[in-house]
Amino acid sequence: MVLERPIRTFSPHAALRWIWLGVTALLLGAAPIAGALAQAFPARTVRLVVGAPPGGSTDLIARLLAARLQEEWKSPVIVENRPGAGGVVGASSVSKAAPDGYALLVGFTGQFLVNPTQQEKLPYDPLRDFEPVSMLSTGPLLLVANPTLPVNSVRELIEYAKTQPGALDHATGGSGFFYAAEYFQRQTGTELRSIPYIGMPAVVNAVLAGTVPLAFVDLPPAITLLRTGRLKALGATTARRLDALPDLPAIAETVPGYDYALWTALFAPAGLPADVLATLHRETVRAMDAQDLQAKMRAVGLQPSSSTPRELGEMVRRYVALVDAIAGGKAK
């Protein structure tokens, strides 16, 4: 006996049903892949570029942030110090990097606000070439002197400087610090001579050695030296006294209206994809909110801070215009 196979007729409905099942299976299979791709950042080492040598406040903030991000991401995050030209070298390198989130700038005041007023041909545009991510901190400066300088207050310094205009030197470790001194001179009618150094450690060492008697400095490298008497502080640059040094007068107590603080913020190259920006912003804010990180920053006089990318961008634009106006004849 021969058994014949039944003849199967074509059913459009059945065909459509099988096609739909196949497409659904493909979509379901692709979903984990798409999710993995969306969460791929970071897939390799992230570099936090600092345009200053190790030892200053920007470097300290970068290292605290790098440690928190690395712990969160379980992926390497390194700090790369690229000092030179008041932060121009570091900022320029990030402005030219691929906009993928793997090269970021821990930027500071001088790179964005002061350099444009002092250099005619910057290799980067502070408004056009960077994607703001978040504020990181704000911090005052200290006006410090070698203990042998015969002044013990801002008032005495002003009187002393006016007896020998242009003869009293101050060391500067970058454009942000230079501008603090320029602002002081404009407000007090004094004339100080600027001696440039590469980075804050070199500035502090110069004042310790007495090579240069005076400087505006960060708190982190100076605060221990003040407490041991190797440096003497004349004033803080903020409008009010500092919690970390409550006995030190603010310069504004002698020079009304003097108020100057540096800030640090995180930037990426312009053109960063929106999803990577969102990840960087979220994880940076989470890191800056960590209580142990904040305690370490406040111990050296730094104020932890954060912002949205839009808030940071608006602040930079506003202060670029302000500093340009205050710089007056020194603007480019």
CATH of the domain at 149: 3.40.190.10
Q: Across residues 296-314, what is the average pLDDT?
A: 89
Q: How confident is the model at residue 25, as a pLDDT?
A: 45
Q: Across residues 29-37, what is the average pLDDT?
A: 42
Q: Across residues 277-302, what is the average pLDDT?
A: 92
Same domain, 243 and 150: yes
Residue 29 belongs to some domain of the structure: no
Do 129 and 316 touch, CB atoms closer than 8 A? no
pLDDT higher than threshold 80 for residue 254: yes
Do 137 and 302 touch, CB atoms closer than 8 A? yes
Same domain, 171 and 210: yes
Same domain, 134 and 148: no
The pair of structure tokens assigned to 247 is 């006995």
Q: How confident is the model at residue 3, as a pLDDT?
A: 42
DSSP conformational letter for 148: T
Same domain, 317 and 246: no
Residue 35 belongs to some domain of the structure: no
Residue 16 belongs to some domain of the structure: no
Among 225, 253, 281, the domain boundary falls at 253
The rounded distance, in Å, linking the Cα atoms of 120 and 143 is: 29
In the block, tokens 């005041």 appear at: 109
Same domain, 213 and 298: no
Q: How confident is the model at residue 113, as a pLDDT?
A: 82
Same domain, 160 and 130: no
Among 222, 253, 284, the domain boundary falls at 253
Same domain, 222 and 150: yes
Consecutive H or E run containing 90: helix 88-95
Among 209, 234, 253, the domain boundary falls at 253
CATH of the domain at 52: 3.40.190.150
Percent of the chain with pLDDT over 90: 60
Least confident of 27-41, 160-174, 255-269: 27-41
Same domain, 150 and 110: no
Domain that holds residue 180: 142-253
Q: How confident is the model at residue 322, as a pLDDT?
A: 64
Same domain, 132 and 183: no
Same domain, 173 and 226: yes
Residue 15 belongs to some domain of the structure: no
Q: How confident is the model at residue 243, as a pLDDT?
A: 80
* 332: confidence class by pLDDT, cuts 50, 70, 90: very low
CA–chain centroid gap for 305, Å, is 11
Residue 98 belongs to some domain of the structure: yes
- Residue 111: how many CB atoms within 10 A of its CB? 31
Number of domains comprising the chain: 2
Residue 115 belongs to some domain of the structure: yes
Same domain, 133 and 156: no
